Amino acid sequence: MEQRDLQRLGQALKQARKRLDWSQSTVAKQIRVSVAVVSDVENGAERQRVTRTMRDYAELVGWPAGSVESVIAGGEPLEPQTPPRPGPEQAAAIDDLGMRHQLPWGVADEIENGHVLGAQTRRLPSGGLFIAVVVAPPDATTEARRQQHREGIELFDSMDTGPDKPDVAQIPPGSDST
**32 and 56 assigned to the same domain:** yes
92 and 67, same domain (yes or no): no
Confidence band for 100, pLDDT divided at 50, 70 and 90: very low
The domain total for the chain is 2
Given pLDDT bands bounded at 50, 70 and 90, which one contains residue 114?
Answer: confident
Residues 92 and 60 in one domain: no
Average pLDDT along the chain = 76
pTM: 0.49
* Residue 15 pLDDT > 90: yes
Do the domain assignments include residue 53? yes
Same domain for 116 and 41? no
- Tell me whether residue 83 is in a domain: no
Q: What is the model's pLDDT at position 177? A: 36
- Work out the pLDDT band at 169, boundaries 50, 70, 90: very low
Under 8 Å between Cβ of 35 and 28: yes
SS3 track for 30-59: HHCCCHHHHHHHHCCCCCCCCCHHHHHHHH
Q: Considering the domain boundaries, does residue 115 fall inside one? A: yes
Distance CA 138, CA 126 (A): 36
140 and 112 within one domain? yes
Q: What's the mean pLDDT in 106-112? A: 67
Query: Strand 129-136's sheet: what is its strand order?
Result: 129-136, 115-123, 168-171
Mean pLDDT of 26-46: 90
Domain encompassing residue 50: 3-72
pLDDT at residue 37, as a whole number: 92
Residue 76: pLDDT above 90? yes
pLDDT of residue 90: 52
Has residue 129 been placed in a domain? Answer: yes
